[in-house]
Structure 1
Amino acid sequence: MKTAIKLALIYLAMQILGALAVGPFTMIYAYVKYGTVDRASEFALAPTLLAGFVFMLIYLWQKGYLTGDKRLYSPVSVSYLSWSAMMGISMIYLIDFLMSHLTFLPDWLSDTFDLLQSGWLGIICVAILGPILEELLFRGAITKVLLKKYNPVVAILISGLIFGIFHMNPAQVVGATLIGFILAWIYYKTHSLIPCILIHIMNNSLSVYLALKFPDVEYSSELIGEKAYLTGLVIAFLLFILSWRMMNTYKLSNTTTEI
């Protein structure tokens, strides 16, 4: 548990280090372009995030969390990845429904995400690089450590809670925790990060796409209508159960072969 929390805190420290590394360059850029450093923050967020990713990746690699286990990067089977994608899509829909009933939770990072999504580097960080790095950290390192110390149920629960709390934004904590449980379970079943990365990228990319394409829409029900939304909810629930049952039949020995 201490190691898991330590790794999450180190990630936060790496983001601060990223800000310190990027800050002077963004101030110079702002001064050259606008004649003042007051607008440096407009350019600093995405590079800071990227620098933090790089620093954390280097740390995890040097400490051996990402090496020595070939299964970590196994593509598993085509069928398993397909069911993973199915589970991911249905889970995103179900969590959207849940969050539409938790609108009282404040969104502290709304402006931050708007700023990130205003440029291509921020979009790439949120939609692709962030999910990859977070899976390397939270599943490839933190969940792996927890599974060595606790039984699978406890390890998965702790992993999901750490992942959710780490987001530090009330509007994200519940959804992130639930997704964290599923991703930790998938990692436990396969010891591979590939299905986890796939689901995480799908979730973040869809969120970015909807935010950019439909900026005034908060939840899917507003986009497709209440009746179609409720029908989709039933389908999503059934698909989630089906994909979970199918994925649960796989054993570690047959997740690395074509089925």
Structure 2
Amino acid sequence: MLLAILVIAFAIAPVVLLAEAVAALLGRDRQAVVAWTSSMVMGLVILAVVWHFGLGRLQALPRSLGMAKPRGSPVVVILLAVAALTGSLVLTGLYTILVRWLDAGLLTPPEIQGDIVFTGLASLMSFFAIAVWTPITEEIFFRGFIIAGLTPRLGPWWAMAVSAAIFSAFHLNLGVMVPIFATGLILALLYHRTGSLWPGIAAHVGQNTLALLGAMYGV
């Protein structure tokens, strides 16, 4: 478990450097190229790590990592996913208002710049990478893989808290650590309640989609 987390952590810098190199080679849309390349490659690294340390070495089944049908009726599951998304957005908004009121500086979440999204039809590539691919791979790793690995030793509640803390730390920005921790905890609770990553993936996709739309239209 620890080795898998370290592999992901040490992969961040090379992935960013690769993304910057691709952007320099193309010579245009630097921010969008970096965002797309780093999201796609990091997702592949995550899946490779999960495969090697989970599905391969431990011979775990995808179901044990949360890739299963949600428990409960579809209506309840949908309502829970919507509630998780709403709760995450509300807590993030309240946190942002508070730290701005306190003029907390480094604790203020950075604004997402619109230039991380390609223009025209190419914007679909950005939305796929950031709002679909990233949520899927992050949920598989931070909720499915990490919680499955920690629960036997820590129990479900501490496993969820630790997974949320790791999820927050991996974003490498003081301004988002608190709201990302809250989001990670909400998504972990959703996973615990439904027994499936899919509702959390849906909520995560919704949050990233809204963030990209807000960046594009200056909301």
Superposition TM-score tier, normalisation by shorter sequence: 0.7 to 0.9
RMSD of the TM alignment (CA)?
2.8
- Structure index of larger Rg: 1
Relative to 1, partners in 2 of residues 1:201 and 1:42: Cα closer, same or farther, differing over 3 Å?
closer
One-letter amino acid of the counterpart of residue 215, structure 2? A
The residue number in structure 2 matching 1:209 is 213
Contact 2:32 2:116 in 1 (8 A): no
The alignment-based identity, stated in percent, is 21
User: Pairwise mapping of residues 169-248 of structure 1 onto structure 2 (< 5 A)?
Assistant: 169-213=173-217, 215=218, 217=219
Tell me the TM-score normalized by structure 1: 0.67
Give the deviation of 1:75 after TM superposition: 3.1
Relative to 1, partners in 2 of residues 1:22 and 1:166: Cα closer, same or farther, differing over 3 Å?
closer
Question: Unmatched 5+ residue regions in structure 1?
Answer: 34-38, 218-259
One-letter amino acid of the counterpart of residue 15, structure 2? G
The residue number in structure 1 matching 2:15 is 18
The residue number in structure 2 matching 1:237 is none
One-letter amino acid of the counterpart of residue 86, structure 2? S
The one of 59, 70, 74 aligned to 2:68: 74
Structure 1: how far apart are the matches of 2:9 and 2:36? 15
Contact 2:4 2:53 in 1 (8 A): no
Contact 2:33 2:116 in 1 (8 A): no
The residue number in structure 2 matching 1:50 is 40
Structure 1: how far apart are the matches of 2:63 and 2:32? 40
Contact 1:167 1:173 in 2 (8 A): yes
Contact 1:15 1:53 in 2 (8 A): no
Relative to 1, partners in 2 of residues 1:25 and 1:118: Cα closer, same or farther, differing over 3 Å?
closer
The residue number in structure 2 matching 1:102 is 99
Structure 2: how far apart are the matches of 1:62 and 1:7? 9
The residue number in structure 2 matching 1:241 is none
Relative to 1, partners in 2 of residues 1:118 and 1:100: Cα closer, same or farther, differing over 3 Å?
farther
**Aligned: 1:157 with 2:147:** no
Give the deviation of 1:117 after TM superposition: 2.6
One-letter amino acid of the counterpart of residue 145, structure 2? A
Relative to 1, partners in 2 of residues 1:173 and 1:105: Cα closer, same or farther, differing over 3 Å?
farther
